[in-house]
Amino acid sequence: MALLTCLAAGCTTGGGPADDRGGADREPSRSDGPRPAAGPVLAVKIDNARPARPHTGLNAADIVYVEPVEGGLSRLMAVYATTLPEVVGPVRSARESDLELLRQFDRPVLAFSGAQGRLLPLIDGAPLEAATPGAANGAYHRDRDRPAPHNLYLRPERVLPSAPGAAALTTGFRHGAAPAGGTPETSRTVRYPAARFTFTWSEERRRWLVSTDGTPAVTTDAGPVAPATVVVQYVKVRTSDFRDYLGNHTPYTETVGSGRAEVLRDGRAYDVTWKRPKATDGTEFTTRDGGRVAFAEGQVWVVLAKA
C-alpha cells in the first residue's frame, strides 16, 4: 500500500537501478488522478534484443504487443490482468506510441525503466501510473548474471497488490468460436528490418509456438512461448519527433484508425479488418461480411506490422 500511495502522489523520481543507456533516459515526475474501481492492468515494457532472451514472466501475460523500435528492432509490451507472475523482465524504456496504445485501458500501471527526456512531459500528462525504478523502490532488481542494460527485472506485486481480473481488459477483444472460413496455416513469419517472428501451429498443444530471429522463444519460468491467438495488425508507422541516444528517430506506430489484419487461431488464418475510432476505444476485428471475430481462449499476441 505504501508504494501505491507513493505512485498516486507522484513519487516517481529518486533511487533504484539506473536506466539503460548509461542514464540517457529519465523518469517522469508525477502521475495524477484516481484509479478505476475495477483496478488497473499492469503493462510492462520488455526488452527483446538477443541478450535479453530468454524472458521471464512473459507467459503469464494476457496480451503481448510486439512493437517496432529504432534500428529495425522490436520490443514487447506485456499486459497483465488475470495473473501476476513473480518476476517480469528484462524491463526497458517507454516510447511515445505506447501512450496511444495504452489509452484503451482505464488508467493502467506502466512499468518501464525510463524514457527519453523530451518524452517525460507527455508521460506525466498521460492517464496512467508510471512505475519506474525511482517510483517503485524495491520493486526492481538487477540480475548480475546478465549484462546491463538487459538485466532489469520487476516484481509485479510491489507495484500492484493483486491482478484486477479480466474485466480490466478493455481492448474490445472477444473470446469464443472461430469465424467461418479461413485457410489452413501451419506457419507465419512477420519481418521487421532487423527482427523476425515465426508462429508455428502445434496441433498437439493447440497453440502457436513462437520463434524470434530463428530461435524458439522460451521463458525461464514457464517453458515455451505459445499464444492461443496471433494477430498481425497492419498499421501506419511514421517517424516521430523523438530520437534515441544515438540520434536515430523513433518510429511511431499508429494504433488508432483502421486497416487490415490477419488472425491466426486453431491452425487457420483469417483475413480481417481492424478498427479503432479513437484512442479510448478498444480495437474491433471484423470479417468481410461485418461479423465480429472472436479469439481462442488463452494468450493473445498482437504483432504491429507496417502497412
pLDDT tens for 244-277 read 666 667 899 999 999 999 999 999 999 999 999 9
Distance separating alpha carbons of residues 290 and 287, to the nearest angstrom? 5
Beta bridge partners of 129: 109
- pLDDT class of 136 with cuts at 50, 70, 90: confident
CA-CA distances (angstroms) from residue 191 to 27, 151, 265, 303, 304? Answer: 31, 26, 20, 10, 11
pLDDT tens for 4-34 read 434 433 333 333 333 444 334 554 433 344 4
pLDDT at 250 (0 to 100): 83
Length of the chain equals 307
Distance separating alpha carbons of residues 56 and 47, to the nearest angstrom? 11
242 Cβ contact partners less than 8 Å away, ≥ 6 residues apart = 95, 96, 116, 118, 119, 249, 250
Distance separating alpha carbons of residues 134 and 141, to the nearest angstrom? 12
* Residue owning grid cell 523513433: 250
pLDDT at 6 (0 to 100): 41
> Are residues 214 and 200 in contact, defined by beta-carbon separation less than 8 angstroms?
no
pLDDT tens for 69-96 read 998 999 999 999 999 999 999 999 999 9
